[in-house]
A and B are shown apart, each in its own frame.
Chain A
Amino acid sequence: MAVEQPTTANEYILHHLTFLSNKEPHGVLDFSVIHLDSVFFSVVLAVVFGGSFYLAARTATAGVPGKFQNFVELVVEFIDTQVKDSFHGTNKLLAPLALTIFCWVFLFNAMDVLPVDLLPALAHGAGIGHLKVVPSTDLNVTFAMALTVFVLIIYYSIKCKGLGGFLAELTLQPFTAKNPVVKTLLVPANLLLEIVPLLARPISLSLRLYGNLFAGEMIFLLLATLTLHGVEQLSTFGGWFFLTMQFLLSFVWAVFHLLVITLQAFIFMVLTVVYLAMAQEHH
């Protein structure tokens, strides 16, 4: 898949928005296609998170903690506080799930602060034409997480309230009536009002993260187009000006982006905890 280097801004951006996939997709849904770059980087980051935390967990002592154990405990305690604030029952899954989401999504997003051309250029040197390094700019990745959370929401709703309880929650509120006939008549309206927010949860979860990170990456790409012509633009004053602008603006945006990537990881984690807490609590 040797792709010629892009020369115009349009080509450059399109080039950067193309996934490394096994083949060209046909249509919106095509399950024969796989994004190798997204899977590769998310698995690498999963290993980074799982491995480092596992090492910390294996050597963790109740005595005086080391520096890394301290850091890990800081994160764990932060997540634990968030979970305990939202959910008052006992659930062995919820807190580890929140920790996984927060750290994994944070690492996904952190890839966005790397210079946009660093890894793709290295990959190009190795003969790989396209490379998207930020897994959270892939809707498949964010939607996979949101969908898993959605399945867990359904699972815990049915587990804690029973299938009848869950269905009743979907169909018998917010409009209620004493008369059984009126009650039955209200079911479609209730179902509509309840099913939309339920389905909106995974979609909003995944789109929020995807949208924020995609936009962030797009800003970096647009700033990168200021110096698209390489060394030859250093011969003009305008070229130097654009170079300086790119450096300054990218720096400012990267600093601001540090907030965004943390905040988006945090939001994904907190909303997951809140949704799952709601699923397990009776109204």
Chain B
Amino acid sequence: MNINLTLVVQMLVFIVLIWFTMKFVWPMILGPMEERSRKIAAGLTAAAKSEKDLGEAETRAKEIIREARDKATQIIDQAGKRSNEMIDEAKGTASAEAQRLVAQAHEDAALESTRAREGLRREVGKLAVDGAARLLGREIDPKTHAELLDSLAAEISNG
């Protein structure tokens, strides 16, 4: 065993190898490793955040569904109430109309009967005057005997 030129050559080889590892190997392996660990950390953070967001969204969705259900119940109630009101209203209107029609019919009937009575009276008066004129044999002037005729007609209509 002796120390010789191999020592010097080996030192040079060693130095070149260290330089090569330092320049071309180490940073190019460690860089992607660090980047990956950063990515994983970011991914985990994002996952935790989205889990939290999901929880919040679920809570909010439940809230909205509950509100919607409440509102629907309210609307159904209102609609029921409103329909009852409308039915009542319609009933009221209809009975009022019926009463009005009945009243109208009564009125018309009364008017018609009055008119018929008037016509009859006039007819009877005329017949009475004609009869009287035939009995008396002369013309009765309706103007001069208007008072008498009227009281006669009144008597008939009242009788």
Give 1 or 0 for each of B15-46: 1 = CB within 8 Å of chain A CB: 11110111011101111110110010000000
Majority SS of interface residues in chain B? Answer: helix
User: Min CB distance, A268 to chain B, in Å?
Assistant: 12
Interface membership of A200, Cβ < 8 A: no
Partner of A46, one of B17, B22, B24, B33: B17
Is A25 a contact of B28 with CB atoms below 8 Å? no
Q: Which of B7, B16, B29 contacts A144 (CB 8 A)?
A: B7
Which of A27, A39, A62, A63 meets B9, CB within 8 Å?
A39
* Contact between B6 and A144, CB atoms less than 8 A apart: yes
A80 to B34, CA, bound (A): 12
**Residue numbers in B under 8 Å from A113 (CB-CB):** none
Residues from chain A with Cβ under 8 Å of B3 in the complex: 28-30, 139-140, 143
Instruction: Tell me if B28 and A144 are in contact (CB < 8 A).
Output: no
In the complex, which residue of chain A has the Cβ closest to the Cβ of B37?
A62
Residue ID in chain B nearest A27 by CB atoms: B2
Q: Which residues of B contact A93 (CB under 8 A)?
A: 18, 22
Q: Any chain B CB within 8 A of the CB of A178?
A: no
| Min CB gap A75→B, angstroms | 9
In the complex, the answer to whether A144 meets B14 with C-beta atoms within 8 Å is yes
Which of B2, B8, B22 has a CB less than 8 Å from the CB of A25?
Answer: B2
Q: Knowing A29-B4, A140-B3, say if A39 contacts B10 (CB, 8 Å).
A: yes
Return the contact of A57 from the options B17, B18, B25 (Cβ within 8 A). Answer: B25
Asked if residues B7 and A76 are in contact (CB atoms below 8 Å), the reply is no
Q: Which of A96-104, A164-172, A230-238 contacts B (4 or more CB under 8 A)?
A: A96-104
A31 to B14, CA, bound (A): 18
Instruction: Give the residues in chain A near B1, CB-CB below 8 Å.
Output: 139
Of A48-56, A153-161, A258-266, the stretch lying at the interface with chain B is A48-56
B5 and A57 within 8 A (CB): no
Indicate if B54 sits at the interface (CB-CB under 8 A): no
Given A25-B2, A76-B33, is A99 in contact with B11 using a C-beta cutoff of 8 Å?
Answer: no
Asked if A92 CB lies within 8 Å of chain B CBs, one says: yes
Chain A residues in 8 Å Cβ range of B16:
46
CB distance from B145 to the nearest CB of A (A): 133
Determine whether B120 belongs to the interface, using a CB cutoff of 8 Å to chain A.
no
Q: A92 — which chain B residues lie within 8 A by C-beta?
A: 22
Contact B29–A60 (Cβ < 8 Å)? yes
User: Does B13 sit at the interface, judged by CB under 8 A?
Assistant: yes
Q: Are A50 and B21 in contact (CB under 8 A)?
A: yes
Closest beta carbon of chain A to B62's beta carbon, Å:
39
Contacts of A65 in B (CB 8 A): 36
By beta carbon, the residue of chain A nearest B36 is A62
Q: How far is the CB of B63 from chain A (nearest CB, A)?
A: 41
Given A42-B10, A145-B10, residue A50 in contact with residue B2 (CB < 8 A): no
> Which residues of chain B from 93 to 107 have any CB-CB distance to chain A below 8 Å in the complex?
none
Task: Pick the most buried of A62, A73, A99, A138: most chain B CB atoms within 10 A of its CB.
Answer: A62
**A residues 32-55 touching B (CB-CB < 8 Å):** 32-35, 38-39, 42-43, 46, 49-50, 53-54
Q: Is the CB of A57 within 8 A of B28?
A: yes
**A95 interface hit (Cβ, 8 Å):** yes
A147 on the B face (CB < 8 A): yes
CB–CB A95/B26 < 8 A: yes
CA distance A228 to B33 in the complex (A): 52
Closest beta carbon of chain B to A3's beta carbon, Å: 19
Neighbouring A residues of B2 by C-beta, 8 Å: 25, 27-30, 33
Which residues from chain B sit less than 8 Å from chain A, CB to CB? 1-11, 13-18, 20-22, 24-26, 28-33, 35-36, 39
What are 13 A-B pairs at a CB distance below 8 A?
A21-B4, A30-B3, A31-B5, A33-B2, A38-B10, A50-B17, A57-B24, A58-B28, A76-B33, A97-B21, A139-B1, A144-B11, A147-B7
Known: A31-B8, A49-B17. 4 other contacts (CB 8 A): A32-B4, A33-B5, A76-B29, A76-B33
